[in-house]
Structure 1
Amino acid sequence: MISVLFAILTALSNGAASVLQRRAARSVPDTEAMRLSLIGHLLRQKVWLAGIGLVIVAAVCQATALATGPISVVQPIFVIELPATLLLAGFVMRVRVPRGVWYGVAAVTFGLALGMASAAPGGGSSSVRGAAWVPALVLTGIFEAALIAGARSTRGNARGALLGLAAACGYALTAALMKDAMGRLGDGGGAAALMTSWQLYATAAAGVGSLFLLQNALQAGTLVAVQPMLTLGDAVISILYGVTLFGEHLRTDWWLLPELAALTLIALGCVELARSPLATGNAVPPPGTRVK
């Protein structure tokens, strides 16, 4: 399936970008938090610019995936971004991958497989009908405002987790807007329908806002605090958008039990992976090793 292939490519790009951005954000002083000057500081760092390049690649792949498949199928696949990135980092740096990382990879992979098999997401339309966006945007705005207000009243990992969830909500909204915009392209309107749709420009605005929230999340807390909220939040909120806006369906009833088990496995796997030196940027290759 084309959508699954491009979702995997998106996950690889986003995972690598997240680690690079975390390395750059760690050098930003606390006084720059929640200010536009934070972005100016990051623009001077090559590692952050490399991460942004991967974000652009991911956006193209994500648009292709969403144009060819349901959002409730595409977005959950992104939970593999961290395990795939860490394994790739270990290979490139020629660093022995710790046993804990393999456990984390297994937990996330099995959790994703269990969740997808249990929920069996699918169906739905390619675009949003009527004025369904109005309540969705209002509720999203209220939720985001509450998370940001809570983050501003705390510090450290708590702030990072709240802002990570806010960024996840923003990225889920970006995906839903992107799918709606791409759906209008495929409904026969052509490029003109796409370029004149408000969803296209809202996608750009939501993406920039989400990026800003993510940089602040990574600056405020550790990857262990931010990544699980970002990964699970994006997947779960995207599924909510898929069901409520696009009419996609999931299995419920007793299927909720294995679905909850899958979420637990993914969360535990993300925490284990985020603790790895490969994720924090502290992994050191053996002496004399040339890193490609």
Structure 2
Amino acid sequence: MLALSILLALLAALGNAGASVLQRRAAADVGSGPSPARGGWMAGLVHRRVWLWGAGLLAVSGILQALALATGPLSIVQPVMSTELMFTLVVGSVVFHRSPDTATRWAFAAMAVGLAAFLALADPSGGRDTVPAADWLWTGAGVGLFVTLMIVVSLRLSSAPRAAVLGTATATGFSCTAALLKDALGRLPDGIGAVFTTWQPYAAMGVGLASFFLLQVTLRAGTLVASQPAMTLGDALLSVVLGVALFAEKVHLGWRVVFEILALAILTAGCVHLARSPLVGEEPEENGEGERRSKW
């Protein structure tokens, strides 16, 4: 079952990466082309086949993530989902017809090794399927206070630090959304009706939408280099904390802590460098606008 949840999480991460690249491509084409007569920029996007494929792929990846959460621990599924950044590099190199340089390949390897080493050392396991309401009460209060504090602090910062702080707040929201979704799906053994007659799925939708809005603010606050590492690593690490605190999942510490910190340092270094790649963030330049568009 654990192998299945990891596979589903990897497929979900691949779907997110593909959706991101396809929708970036559509946005770039709309931005460089003539303005639509009606509806503005958004209308131009929804009429792009590439953007629609990206939206559909995003929906499929959401279903795959839900299945991964239903079959595996939160503290494994969400860290595995951080491979989205690596898949974005791969998919971007195919879509934009540009190969990553040697340094980027090393960063890819560093992130992969760091993530694998951290999960192997921490070895999350066990846990319960659902969370008592009392545990959600104090967790929700703590998370709400933390996100509010991050937003207030970000107002006093310049562009790059603001993006990093808002990225942390965004990651907090998305990790809580995943935890709420997992809690809701934990009631599936009692029937599909048991899932939709509890408050968790509706809270997950609300927190998810708020997090998506905060993501847009984050992306406008500064460069992807500043925000992406905070979002990627923040989601993964906070999910481990929520897995332990809410779902009673077990994580090995003790003598392994030093090596876990080293693995996280390698993971962070790889993540920061990958976020600098134009294949992950901005659309890479190519020779000739006409040549670039002729691919679609």
TM-score w.r.t. length of structure 1: 0.87
- 1:271 is matched with which residue? 272
- 1:169 is matched with which residue? 172
> Which runs of structure 2 are paired with 1:200-215 in the superposition (5 Å)?
200-215=201-216
Distance 1:145 1:270 in 2: 26
Q: 2:288 aligned with 1:284, yes or no? A: no
How much has 1:13 moved relative to structure 2? 2.3
Kept after mapping to 2: 8 A contact 1:3/1:68: yes
> Which runs of structure 2 are paired with 1:1-292 in the superposition (5 Å)?
1-18=3-20, 43-44=42-43, 46=45, 52-186=55-189, 189-285=190-286, 291=295
Matched position secondary structure for 2:255: helix
State the Cα deviation string for residues 122-145 of structure 1 (Å, max 9, x = none). Answer: 100111135211100000000010
Structure 2, unaligned runs of 5 or more: 32-38
How much has 1:43 moved relative to structure 2? 3.8
Distance 2:40 2:246 in 1: 38
| CA RMSD, 1 decimal | 2.4
How many pairs were matched up?
Answer: 278
TM-score w.r.t. length of structure 2: 0.86
Matched position secondary structure for 2:83: helix
Distance 2:21 2:147 in 1: 24
Kept after mapping to 2: 8 A contact 1:111/1:266: yes
Kept after mapping to 1: 8 A contact 2:24/2:283: no
Identity of aligned residues (%): 43
Kept after mapping to 1: 8 A contact 2:131/2:247: yes
- 1:33 is matched with which residue? none
Greater C-alpha Rg? 2
Matched position secondary structure for 1:128: coil
How much has 1:160 moved relative to structure 2? 1.1
State the Cα deviation string for residues 105-159 of structure 1 (Å, max 9, x = none). Answer: 1011000111011001110011113521110000000001001111222341122
Which range is displaced more, 74-83 or 273-282?
Answer: 273-282
How much has 1:17 moved relative to structure 2? 4.1
Structure 1, unaligned runs of 5 or more: 29-39
